[in-house]
Structures are given as structure tokens and as C-alpha cells.
Amino acid sequence: MTMKTNIMLVSSLVVIILTLAGITYTYTRIISHHTVENHQQNLAKEAGRIAELWLNQRFKIIASLAKTLEQRPPAQDAETLMMLKMIMEAGDFSDVYVGLADGTMIDGADWPPPLDYDPRVRPWYKRAISENDLSLTRPYLDLTTRKMVIAVVTPLVRNGRFLGVLSSDIILDTLEANVMDLRIGESGYAFIIDSLGTVLVHHNQDLLMTTLIQDTEPGLSGFSDYFPQRDSGSYSYVAREEDRMISFHKLVDTGWYLCTNVASKEAFALAKNTNMLFAMRMVLKILGILALLLFLTVGGFALIFLISKHRFEAIVSGKDRDLKGEIIRRKELETRYRTLFNMATNAIMLSKKGTYIECNKKAMDMFGLPRDKIIGRSMLDLSPATQQGGCSSVLTQEQLAKDIMEGHLDVFKWTFKRADGTEFPTEIGMNTLKLNREMVTIYSIWDISKRVNAEQHLRQAQKMAAMGEMLSAIAHQWRQPLNALSTYIASLTPAFYNQIITKEFIEKLVRESDSQIQFMSRTINDFKEYFRPSKNKHTFNVMNSVKNAFKLIQPQLRQNNIILDLDSPAAAEPLQVFGYENEFVHVLVNIISNAKDAINERQANTSGQKINRLINISVTRDTDMVLLSVKDTGCGIPRHLLDKIFTPYFTTKGTAMGTGIGLYMAKMIVEKEMKGQIIVENLSIGVMFQIRLPLSSPLLLPAEEPHA
């Protein structure tokens, strides 16, 4: 092969490499642009998912309250106001209120409406009637707070009769604080628009409800024709000599669009940490270097290049593979770290050998501590001495470590302590990875205080839903003593005219009247204790709870001619369990009340033939467990519904008689709060509910757990 041939071969190779470099560069720019768009669209989609989840939680709370109000029609009384205020707190609403069909306004925030105020002409009331279902209004100015709000509204209908409209206000500032706290680079931000482009939520308050987003910048004039045709996408424009990008994602339940706005250079900088752009740029640089070397070697080094060609290619190929491997490894580590720390809405903390080495801003906000007060400390340093289960934090951590090592646990609950000394419950997910050739543990921490409080309020809401039936029971309990008192008072007049009022007569009258009054007072105390939520977990006797439940439900059973048979345990010592005593009494009352309804339903379906109207409760001990069984002679439960009765809002009684949260809350209290088990099975006649609870350990007898 001649020198001329070698030179031509090398020159051709250079031309080919330069051509490939040009083609690769062009495709790299196209891929880069699409990758940046996809990255921003994923950010908008994730933020949209959080917004939809936040709104859906409010929808469920209002739907539960609506079911309760339809069962017990709302009125301008203390009970209705109590339920409205409770839902305000549980759902973080600025106001919860009811507009009745006659124009009456019942406001949970105690707002006194003007004399000429008619809720029936307000937009929230009209929205509920037009949609005839649970829905969300457009933002409007609230007369109470003088702020822009959106309202979750639903009509109230009982037995086909329209009662009014239930509405709850969410201040847009609250939505922005809870959902829109998304930071993208240095200048990026998130906002919400409707299907026309009207700005609904934005950091610039002057734009709200007054401006179309396409009118804010000349470069956005074509945006109004682009976004309504798509559920998600990206739109690039120029604002004040800077390239920017808007990405959007449609919120299904509202028809709104959650958008992100970021400078294109910042979007590219964020995207390069989560894709192959960086690696592709490195390959382009290598190709350029190779082309330059080939140019320099043309001529005098052509022969040397041909001789050492095979060796050189082998070296370059090996180094290229090593370089690609190093790029991929570093990209994976950097992507995982950057994604968690720059995009996460939960607290992220990195630990090495039990000591925190890094945390994100959400963790600092959650604990109320600066970064240097978290780094270098351990999990126990940020925790109270005792966890909510009554056990010390040290022993609880040792048990968790054992469960994690055995592969039984990867997500667990833990109570931390803030800088101000307050405790708060969390849910923690763990994972391990290799960082800088060392194994580190990543903690993903969610503050579940609101969820725990909402569960507590839901338990109390179920009690409030049963209040109407319990008030009927109180009235039944009081009927006889009131008749007796009326008789005593009526006897005074004839006794006076017949001159038979003596000291003995007066003392007997006072004594017997006082006995009746004391009986009525005890009745009130019993029901008042039932409706008061337990503040602390403690050990209590199961039999005492059974007797308290029987005392509360006895008037209803007597009124329905139902016999309650109680089998006491054979053991002499009390059967102590650990949990919320009042809530457990509520579980028993709910199960016995369901048994009463099942017996009445069976009687109604037997065409006048009398049935055995009996409820049997038995309490026994099985090694270290307490077994409590409730059997009835009712109509039973259809086999295909047995697996659904503990599902929230599922009821076999219809919405007019049941809310569907009683048995769901019973399962939550028994299994989640008391570490027990509740099961149900059909008998040959009727149903048996069985509750299994662990006997309280002597070590827990003096301990108490505060309500989360």
C-alpha cells in the first residue's frame, strides 16, 4: 500500500468522522430539546398528581359529612354547628356551611350573614344544583374572608326531597401553600389556569381571575390555541430576551391545567442530570479530539499510524468503554440524589453508620432546625424518649432494625420531636445505595399528623352520626322518672287541701323525687362519657366496656323486645387490654346496634311469624388473647358481601339508614389502634362477630399513650 493510498484513506476517514460528528450534533440538539420537554412535563404531571390527591381528600371529607347530614337533616342547632366546625378543622377549610332550601344559612365559621343575604342566589349554591353531584366551583370572592376561594359543593337530598346545599371553602392561598410549593431551578415556578387560560393560582396575586396567561407576555399569544387541544405538553417562547418554557398537565376532576414556567437554560441544566445528554456531549468531544488528532497525523505520521492502527483502536475502545461506564455510574448516582433533593415534597435524609450526613429543605422545615443542627445527629437524637406505642424509642428502634434485617419491614411509623418540643407522627420509607464507594441509608419521611387527626375526627363523626338514635334512648330512659316526678308534683295540691302534708309526707316526697333525679343525672353522665373521645391509651377491663355498652344500648333493645345474654369469663382475674376505652365501647355499641337491626329485618321478612330475638355476648381467654364474640339471630349477611362490610362507606342498609363507616372504624380501632383482629362469619341463624385482643403486658400497666 503506497503513501498516497494511505493519505487518501486517512483523509476519507477524517471526512467520514466529521460528517458523523455533524449528524450526531444535529440529532443531539433534537433529542436534547425533546428530553428537556419530557422532563418538565413529568414535573408538571407529578405536581398535578399531588394537587389531585390533595383535592380528592377534601372531596371524601365533604362526601362523608353530606351522608351524615342527609341521615340527620341539618338545622340551626349546636349539633349541626359542631359537625361543621369539626369538618373545617379536619379538612383545613376556611369555612363549612349549609344553605337550606328555605333560604336559611348555617355557617360553621359563625359568620352572621346580612339581613338581605340569600344563599340560593350565590354561585356555590347554583353550582351544586346544576351539577347535582359533588363538584368544585370556579374561584370567587368570599364575603366572610374577603379572599379568593374555591368551594367543594354537593346537594343534600333525603328520600327524594331536596334539603339544601353543603359547601366548604378552600382559600386559594391554602391550595398554593399545600400543593404549589414547587421550586424549579432558580426562577421556575408552578401555577394553575382554567380551560380558557384564566389564571386561578399564581405567585403574582394581581393576575388572579383577571388575566389570561396568553396576555401576560407577547410571546404567549399562540399558547391559547395550543394547550386546550392536549392533556399535557410544553410550549417555548421568548420573554424579555430570555428563552422560557411552559409545561402543563390537565387535572382530570376539575378540568384545570397545572403549569410550570422555567427558563430554558435552567430546564436544560436540570434535565441533563436525569438523561444521557451529558454522556452524548462527552462522546461528541471525543469524536472532535479524534478528528483533530487525525488531521495532525496526516502526512509524516501516516505510516506510523497505519502500523499502530490495531493497537491504537484497541486502547481507544477500552478507554471508551471505561469512560462510558464511569459516565453512566456517576449519572445514576447524581440523578438519584438530585431528583430526591430537588423534587421531593417529603423530608429526605441520608445516614451513614446511624448518623445523618445530608438532608433537604423539607426536612429542615419539618423539624424546625437548621441543617447544621441535623447533620451529625442520629435518629434517636431527634426523637422523644417514648414512642406512641408506650415503648421506649431505644427498644423500638432495636426491634425495627431486627425486622428490617430479616426483610419483614421497609416502611414503618415513627414519632419525632420538633425544635419546639412538640411531637409529631411520621411514616418512613428506607432504602440503601452506594455513594462514593460507601453504603448510605436514605430515609423518606412523611408527616402524617393531619391524616392521624382526620382519622380521629372520623371516629368522632361516626359517634355524632349515632347521636340521634342515642338521644331517642335518653328520652326513653327519662320517660318513667319524668312521669313519677309529675305524679309527685300533682299530689301536692290535693294533699294541701286535705291537710295531710306532714313532715313524713314531705321527706318521702323529697327522697323519692331526688332518687328519680339522680337516675336521670346518671343517664346523662353515661351518654356524655360515651360521646367524649378518649385522650389517652390505657389498660382497661374488657368486661367493664361490655357492661358500659350494654347500659347505653339497653333501652333500644328493651324497646325492640330483644334479649341480650352475657356469658362472663370463668377466670377470676380481670381481662385487661391496652387501647382507647371509649372508642372500644363505641365498637361494641355499633356491632350490637347492627345486630338489633338484623333481627328486626329478619322479623319483617317472616310474614308475622315470631322469631327468637336474642343477642349473645361471650368473653373468654385463650392463652394470651381475649376472645369476645357477639352472636345474633338476625337475617345474616349475603355471602358475596362478607368481604366488603369493613370497606369505608359500604352499607347494606341504604344511605337513608347507614353511613357505611361504623364497621370500617371498628376495624381501624381494633386492628390498628389495639393490635387485635375482628372477623365476621354467618351462622346457621344469624351472624357472629369475633374480636381478638392481646392481653395487656404488666410492663404497660402504668404507661399511657397520648392520642396522636
HEC string for 153-166:
EEEEEECCEEEEEE
Q: Tell me what pLDDT residue 703 has.
A: 40
**What are the domain boundaries of the chain?**
72-174, 346-447, 458-706
Q: Residue 666: its pLDDT value, please?
A: 84
**Cβ contact 674:602 at 8 Å:** no
Query: What is the rounded CA–CA span in Å between residue 654 and residue 660?
Result: 9
Identify the weakest region by mean pLDDT among 7-21, 136-150, 252-266, 531-545. 7-21
Q: Residue 547 half-sphere exposure, CB side, CA atoms within 13 Å?
A: 6
Residue 342 pLDDT: 61
Element (H, E) at 397: helix 393-405
Long-range contacts of 701-706 (CB under 8 A, 24+ apart): 701/539, 701/576, 703/386, 703/390, 704/390, 704/536, 704/537, 704/538, 705/388, 705/389, 705/390, 705/536, 705/537, 705/538, 706/388, 706/535, 706/536, 706/537
Question: What percent of the chain is modeled with pLDDT above 70?
Answer: 78
pLDDT tens across 485-523, in order? 887 788 888 888 888 888 888 888 888 788 778 767 766
Highest mean pLDDT among 222-231, 282-291, 564-573, 646-655: 222-231
Give the model's pLDDT for residue 449.
83
CATH superfamily ID and name for 458-706: Histidine kinase-like ATPase, C-terminal domain (3.30.565.10)
Lowest mean pLDDT of 131-140, 154-163, 349-358, 655-664, name the range: 655-664
Query: Tens digit of pLDDT for each residue in 224-249?
Result: 888 888 888 899 899 888 889 999 98
Residue 16 pLDDT more than 70? yes
User: Residue 247 gets which letter from DSSP?
Assistant: E
Asked whether the predicted pLDDT for residue 335 surpasses 60, the reply is yes
690: confidence class by pLDDT, cuts 50, 70, 90: very high
- What's the average model confidence in pLDDT over 674-691? 93
The better pLDDT of the pair 287, 81 is held by: 81
- Helix or strand (DSSP H, E) at 38: helix 3-71
Give me the chain's average pLDDT, please: 80
- pLDDT value, residue 316: 54
387 three-state secondary structure: coil
- Burial class from Cβ neighbours inside 10 Å (0-12, 13-18, 19+) for residue 179 reads buried
Confidence band of 564 (pLDDT split at 50, 70, 90)? very high
| 72-174 is a CATH 1.10.10.10 domain | no
Do 52 and 253 form a contact (C-beta atoms < 8 A)?
yes
Among all chains, which residue has been given the C-alpha cell 464511569?
326
User: Average pLDDT for residues 207-220, to the nearest whole number?
Assistant: 87
Q: Is pLDDT of 49 > 90?
A: no
211 CB-near residues (< 8 Å, 6+ apart): 198, 199
Q: Are 250 and 233 in contact (CB under 8 A)?
A: no
Indicate whether 612 pLDDT > 50.
yes
Report whether pLDDT(407) > 80.
no
Question: What is the arithmetic mean of pLDDT over 326-333?
Answer: 76
For position 256, what pLDDT does the model report?
86
Q: What gap in Å lies between CA 637 and CA 615, rounded to an integer?
A: 16
390, pLDDT greater than 80:
no
Q: Which whole number is the average pLDDT over 321-333?
A: 75
Does 174 or 298 have the greater pLDDT score?
Answer: 174
Is residue 608 a contact partner of residue 564, using CB atoms and an 8 Å limit?
A: no
With bands split at pLDDT 50, 70 and 90, how would you rate the model's confidence at 641? confident
**Per-range mean pLDDT, top range of 171-180, 466-475, 645-654, 673-682:** 673-682
- What's the CATH number for 346-447? 3.30.450.20
Domains 72-174 and 458-706 share a fold: no
Helix (H) or strand (E) holding 263: strand 257-263
> Is pLDDT at 677 greater than 90 in this prediction?
yes
pLDDT at 168: 92
Q: Which of 243-247, 330-334, 670-674 has the lowest mean pLDDT?
A: 330-334
Q: What is the pLDDT of residue 500?
A: 82
319 confidence band (pLDDT: 50, 70, 90): low
Q: Which residue has the higher pLDDT, 633 or 50?
A: 633
Distance CA 657, CA 596 (A): 13
Number of alpha carbons in the 13 Å side-chain half-sphere of residue 204 = 9
Question: Is 311 or 233 the better-scoring residue by pLDDT?
Answer: 233
Query: 459 or 624: which carries more pLDDT confidence?
Result: 624
38-47, 229-238, 250-259, 646-655: lowest mean pLDDT where? 646-655
